[in-house]
Structure 1
Amino acid sequence: MRKYGMKETKEIKKIICNKCGREITAVNGLLSEDVLSVEKRWGYFSRKDNRVDRFDLCEDCYDEMVAAFLLPPESRG
């Protein structure tokens, strides 16, 4: 005997860069280029207690952002 359940899936159609607004499209759920996705839940000792912020950046905006860092991010690979 077989029992089946309903399966709901989410498929990405596009991601919009929060900084420049450029659209990164997806085909069959696969992005045409990579993005930086950030999700941060702020802790009790912040001014944003328990708030969750989320954003996506295209690679060009990521490069622009890290170029302004005093200390560059650690990289491997």
Structure 2
Amino acid sequence: MREYELVEKNLRENELKSVTCNKCGKTKKLYGEDYQKAWDAEEFQSFSCSFGYGSKFDMDKWIFDLCEDCLEEIVNTFKIKPEGFGVNNVATS
């Protein structure tokens, strides 16, 4: 879950101020310039799922964030791991 706050700039726009993992609730407050906030938010991944007509979740759209620890925990339950999983890091299998 990403939380935004409205900040006055030349134009009004939503500015990312924190990211929260929808699974474990870990929150990271974001400070500094835009590039620093983007860098600090990288330990979270954002997901968007759109379900089609006739699906169990007919026409729903889900948007959520997971921290790296929760994402790794979920992926480790997969019978077939995603391509590239564990290639550039110490992810467990």
- What TM-score results when the alignment is normalised by the length of structure 2? 0.67
Q: Equivalent residue for 2:28?
A: 24
| Alignment equivalent of 1:46, drawn from 55, 61, 73 | 55
Equivalent-residue separation in structure 2 for 1:50 and 1:57 (angstroms) = 22
Q: Equivalent residue for 1:12?
A: 16
What's the % identity of the aligned pairs? 35
Q: Which structure has the higher relative contact order (CA within 8 Å, separation 6+)?
A: 1
Instruction: Give RMSD over aligned pairs.
Output: 1.9
Please identify runs of 4+ aligned residues in structure 1 that moved more than 6 A.
none
Which stretch shows the higher mean deviation, 31-40 or 57-66?
A: 31-40
- What TM-score results when the alignment is normalised by the length of structure 1? 0.79
Q: How far 1:14 moved relative to its partner?
A: 0.5
| Structure 1, gaps ≥5 residues long | 1-5
> Which of the pair is proportionally richer in helix?
2
Q: Say how many residue pairs are matched.
A: 72
Q: How far 1:36 moved relative to its partner?
A: 1.2
Bigger Rg, structure 1 or 2: 1
The residue type equivalent to 1:54 in the other structure is I
Alpha-carbon deviations, 1:21-75, whole Å to 9, x = none? Answer: 0002212341424211111121013011111111100011011111111000112
| Structure 2, gaps ≥5 residues long | 1-9, 89-93
